[in-house]
Amino acid sequence: MATAGRWEEVTVEGQHDVQTGSRRRKLDEELIQGLEAMGYSNMTPVQASTLPQMLAMRDVAVEAETGSGKTLAFLVPAFQMLLDEEHTIRRKRRAKDNPATDARVRVLVIEPTRELAMQVHDVARKVLAAIPRLEHVSPLLLTGGRGAAASVDVLRAQSGATCELVVATPGRLDAALSGAELDTKQLELLILDEADRLLDAGFSVTLSSIFSQLPKQRRTALFSATLQGRMREIFKAGMRDPVQVSVHKQKKENLKSRTANGNEVKEWNTPATLQSMYICIDAQSKLMYLLELLSSQDGKVIVYALTCAYVQFLANLPLESCLNVCGEYLRQHKRSCDADAPRGLGGKRRLYFLHGKMAQSKRESTMQLFRADDSGVLLCTDVAARGLDIPNVDWVVQLDPPQRAEQFVHRIGRTARLGRTGKALLFLLPSEDTYVHFLAIQQCPVKNAIEMPDGPLVGAALKDNEAECADRMRRKIRKSMLEDRALMELSERAFLSYLRAYKQHECCEILRLDALDIGAVARSFFLFRMPRIAEFKTLKSKIQFERDASVQLKDVRFKDKNREAKRQRMLAEKLENPGHRFENTAQKKMNRRKKLEAREAAKKRKEGELFAAVRSRHRDKESGNPRTGHDNQDRDLEDLARDAREIKKARKSEGRKAIVDSSGDEEASSESSESSNILSG
C-alpha cells in the first residue's frame, strides 16, 4: 500500500495547541505511539489528506478506494479529540457525578451493517487500549440482532463500555435515542461510514429521526468508496460547507481537498493492484466453472450470490462430491502441477455461508472462522460486500452482477487491500455481455478471463469433458434432492428469488428479464418442474424447459419426519376436500391485501401528522403567537417533512427499494415480503 508520510508530519495551521502554545497543531505523542504499537507506522494517502481537515474542525466528505485505510482516517481524529486537555478536564468533572449512569456521547459512528459496526468497534477498542491516557475509554457497540432488546445501561454493565465513543447501526441507534438511553447534548463528531448506502431512501426516515435528536453544532464526516454524484444528499446530513477529499488510484498526487459544490463525473475507485476479469458462460455452467476455480486456485475466496435463498440453496448442495468430480478431471489434465492434486473440500479447504437472514450469533461465528481460515471459501450475499476488512482474500467471484450497480466496486474491494494483489472474476450470461461496456464507462474495466496472456484461468481443463462433468454433477445433486424434499423446495425458492431480483435490477436496460434464458436458469437450479408464475404467460414462447416425467414429485419425501407427517396430513385433507386448497389461497391473498392496506394507511397517517405539525407552527408564526421549544425544533420538523415528501416521490417513481432490517443490514429486494406482485408464484 502506498504511504504518505508518518503520523508526526500531520500539522494544522491556525489551530492553537493547548500544550505547546504553538499555532501549529500536531497529533498527540501518546496517540502516535499507540498507532505504531498496533503496526500503523505510516499514513495512507487518504489518512494524510483527511486528518488535517478534520483536526481543523471542518466537515468532510471523503471518497477513496476500498482498502485504503478509511477507518483510521476517521478514528484517529476522534482519538485526538478525546486526548485534548480541555476535554480531559471536562471528563474529569463529569466523573465526579454519577459515572455509572453517565451516558453522554462525544463521538458517534454510524455503520450500515452489523458486521461492519463490529469490525470498526474492534479496531477502536484495540487502538484505545494501546493509548495510556485512554485506557479507561471503552467504545460502546449498539447493533440489532443478538442483545438488541437490552438497554444501553445493561450493555455497558456487561461489556464495561463507556459512552464517549459509540459505534452503532441506524435502527438500534434510533431506538436508543428515542428511549432517552443516550445523552447526545455534548456530541462533537458524527461519522457516517459507507455514507452512500446510509443516504439512500431505505435509511432516510431512520437517519432523519436520528439527526433530529442530535445537536446542530457538531462536526460531520462522511466516508465511502462511491460518493461522487451524491453531493446533494450530503447536505441532508446536516453538513456545513463540507470539504470534499478524493483519493484516486490513477494519480496518487491527486490528494485534493475542495469544497463540495458542482456536479462530479461519476467514477468508481478500485485498487490499482486488483486484476479484474469476467467470463461469459451459460447459466447451467456457472456452478461447474466455480467448482473448477475452487479446485484449481489456492488461497481465500469470497463468492457473491444474488439472494439469501440462493446462498441457502448452495449451502445445502453436496458440493464436496461435486468438487471431487472437478478434481478428478483436473488431475487427469494436470492443469495445475504435474504431481500436486488440487485442493477441495475433502482437503484443507472449507466452505462458509453468510446471508442477512441468518441468526446474529451464527453470522458472528461464521465471520470469525472465515477470517482465521487461510484457504476458506465464503459464499454470501451483499451483506458482506461493504467495508469489511477480511485479511488475505485472494479471489472475489461474483456469480451474477450485483442488483445495485455501485455494489460491484464494494464487492471486488474485499481483495487487493492495503497494497496486496488480488483477483476478481465476474460471471456473465451471453445476454449480459453489454455489462462489460457499462463497467468501462464507470472507469472500472474488466478483462476476458479466457483471453489472459498466461492462458485461460477457468474452463480449459474441462473443455473436452464439460458435458460429461456437468452430467455427473447434475446426477449427484438431483439424487440429493430426491432424497429430501426440503432441498427440492429450496431450489424452487432460490429460482424464484433470483428472478425477482433480476427483474428489479438497477441496470434493467442491460440485464433484461425478457432477454434472459429462463429455461437455462431453471436448469441451473436443477428444477424438476417449472413453477407456475403468472408473468411467464407472456414469456412462454421463450422458455425452453422440459419437465422430468420420470420423477413423481409427490412421492419425494422430507427427511424430517415431522415435516413429512404434516405434508401427508395436508395431502389427505386435499383428497377429502378438493376445494379447500383454493379457499386457503384466497384467504391468504385477502389477508395479504389487508396488511398492505393497513401499512399504507399507517404511513399516510404519520406523514399527515408531520405535515399538520409543520403547518400549525407556520400559522403560529404568521399570527405572531410566541412558541416555546425553539427554532431548532422547527427546523427539525421541516427537515423531516421534506424527507417525507422525497420518500413519497421516490416511492412513486422508483418503486420498492432494498429491504433493510432494524439493524441496518442490506439485502436484495428479492428477499422482500411475499406481498410483492412481482413473480409471486
Burial of residue 268, with CB atoms counted within 10 A of its CB: 0-12 exposed, 13-18 middle, 19 or more buried: buried
Same domain for 235 and 254?
A: yes
> Within 383-484, where are the H helices?
407-412, 435-441, 466-483
Cα dihedral sign for 179, 182, 187, 192?
Answer: negative
Same domain for 526 and 471?
A: yes
Residue 344: the pLDDT is 42
State how far the alpha carbon of 187 is from the alpha carbons of 217, 360, 480, 630, in Å: 8, 29, 57, 19
The position carrying cell 466452505 is 351
- The verdict on residue 633 lying in a domain is no
Full residue range of the structural domain in which residue 251 is found? 7-29+46-91+104-259
- The verdict on residue 619 lying in a domain is no
Same domain for 277 and 421?
A: yes
Q: At what angle do helices 114-129 and 360-372 cross, to 10 degrees?
A: 60
Residue partners of 670: CB distance under 8 A and separation at least 6:
306, 307, 309, 403, 497, 498, 499, 500, 501, 502, 504
Q: Please state the domain count of the chain.
A: 2
Same domain for 247 and 270?
A: no
Same domain for 171 and 137?
A: yes
Q: Which of 218, 217, 223, 182 is nearest to 199 (CA)?
A: 223
Nearest 10 degrees: CA dihedral of 202, 203, 206, 207? -150
CATH of residue 70's domain is 3.40.50.300
Q: Which of 612, 595, 588 is nearest to 680 (CA)?
A: 588
Per-position DSSP letters for 490-529, written without gaps between them: HHHHHHHHHHHHHHT-TTTTTS-GGGS-HHHHHHHTT-SS
Same domain for 201 and 289?
A: no
Same domain for 344 and 405?
A: yes
The last residue of one of the domains, among 549, 578, 607, is: 578
- Write the secondary structure of 228-247 as one string of H (helix), E (strand) and C (coil): CCCHHHHHHHCCCCCEEEEE
Same domain for 221 and 335?
A: no
Burial of residue 142, with CB atoms counted within 10 A of its CB: 0-12 exposed, 13-18 middle, 19 or more buried: buried
Radius of gyration of the chain (CA): 27
- The verdict on residue 620 lying in a domain is no
- The verdict on residue 161 lying in a domain is yes
The DSSP code for 340 is P
- The verdict on residue 647 lying in a domain is no
The position carrying cell 377429502 is 576
The position carrying cell 420538523 is 637
Residue 60: the pLDDT is 92
Same domain for 176 and 148?
A: yes
Same domain for 447 and 540?
A: yes
Q: Which of 245, 262, 263, 243 is nearest to 254 (CA)?
A: 245
**β-strand partners of 221:** 60, 191
CA–CA gap between residue 490 and residue 310 (Å, rounded): 9
CA–CA gap between residue 503 and residue 392 (Å, rounded): 35
The DSSP code for 610 is H
Same domain for 333 and 430?
A: yes
- The verdict on residue 40 lying in a domain is no
Give the SS3 label for residue 561.
Answer: helix
Q: Which residues of the chain have pLDDT under 50?
A: 86, 95-96, 98-101, 250-266, 335-347, 626-630, 653-678, 680-681
Residue 436: the pLDDT is 92
32 is written with which cell numbers?
A: 502516535
The last residue of one of the domains, among 197, 228, 259, is: 259
The position carrying cell 441496470 is 507
Residue 337: the pLDDT is 43
The last residue of one of the domains, among 578, 612, 633, is: 578
Q: Which of 575, 522, 531, 529 is nearest to 553 (CA)?
A: 529
CA–CA gap between residue 51 and residue 41 (Å, rounded): 15
User: What is the phi/psi pair of residue 258, to 5°?
Assistant: -150, 155
CA–CA gap between residue 269 and residue 356 (Å, rounded): 26
- Contact between 190 and 222 (Cβ < 8 Å): no
Same domain for 25 and 168?
A: yes
- Contact between 74 and 54 (Cβ < 8 Å): yes
- The verdict on residue 463 lying in a domain is yes
- The verdict on residue 623 lying in a domain is no
